[in-house]
Amino acid sequence: MKIQVLGSGCPTCKKLFEITKQAAKELNIPEEVEYITDIQQILDMGLMSSPVLAVNGKPALVGFIPKVEEIKKAIQKNIS
């Protein structure tokens, strides 16, 4: 499993990264959450806004900071 937060490095993106790490820990997911600030990778996903929570290379949440429970649901929904 691969969990990534993509963003520009702004406070909003950093907040999503921190909340996502918390959600992964609560779900007992041993993998590290990756934080990517390469805007080109966001564009390569066909997205025009950030931050992005991606699970296994696919966007799960885009453009806002959800609560921990929403992130956990998005991760679980996108686990393959």
Residues classed as catalytic: 10, 13
The token pair at 6 is 């993509």
Quick one: DSSP state of residue 13? H
Strands 3-6, 33-36: pairing is: parallel
Whether the bond into 51 is cis, omega within 30 of 0: yes
